[in-house]
Amino acid sequence: MIKEINSTKAYLILQQSKNTILIDVRSSIEYEYVGHPINTIHIPIKEAPGWEIRDDFIDNVRSELKKNFPDIQNVLEVHIMLLCRSGKRSGQAAQMLELEGYKNITNIMDGFEGDKDSNNHRSVMNGWRFNNLPWEQG
């Protein structure tokens, strides 16, 4: 089952749980130039120029889980938190992982930049960056 939570709650869980990983599924351009949460793992679900779902996404997740949790026998049990700009791509990624048998998946529904306001601006209502959670650029 996929859980949905906001970025503030996600950050609290990450601080308290050693068997949780945060995966940023945004493109490399977004990850590097817009910024990203500190200590996140970057595994893009889509990249320019085609913006198609990457065929290697699931394999890349599995590889990172094995690398980051070598003592866990079944990586399908690791708590995976997914983040994108505003929750849509991370929701897609969550569905893909659930179909592969992953059992503990959380989508961060306000993402890194959050929802748009009435002027179509992000990072002014909610999201990781708006909530002043630790992040960096580059």
Identity (one letter) of the amino acid at 1? M
Q: Give the pTM.
A: 0.95
CA distance 82 to 130: 17
* Count of structural domains within the chain: 1
Please say if the pLDDT value at position 125 is more than 90. Answer: no
The pLDDT tens digits of the residues spanning 30-45 come to 999 999 999 999 999 9
Give the pLDDT band (50/70/90) at residue 124: confident
35: CATH? 3.40.250.10
Q: What 3 state SS string does the chain have?
A: CEEEECHHHHHHHHHHCCCEEEEECCCHHHHHHHCEECCCEECCCECCCCCCECCCHHHHHHHHHHHHCCCCCCHHHCEEEEECCCCHHHHHHHHHHHHCCCCCEEEECCCCCCCCCCCCCCCCCCCCCCCCCCEECC
Q: Write down the pLDDT at residue 37.
A: 98
Q: In terms of residue numbers, what domain contains 46? A: 2-136
Q: Write down the pLDDT at residue 1.
A: 85
Query: Over pLDDT 90: what percentage of the chain?
Result: 91
The pLDDT tens digits of the residues spanning 12-32 come to 999 999 999 999 999 999 999
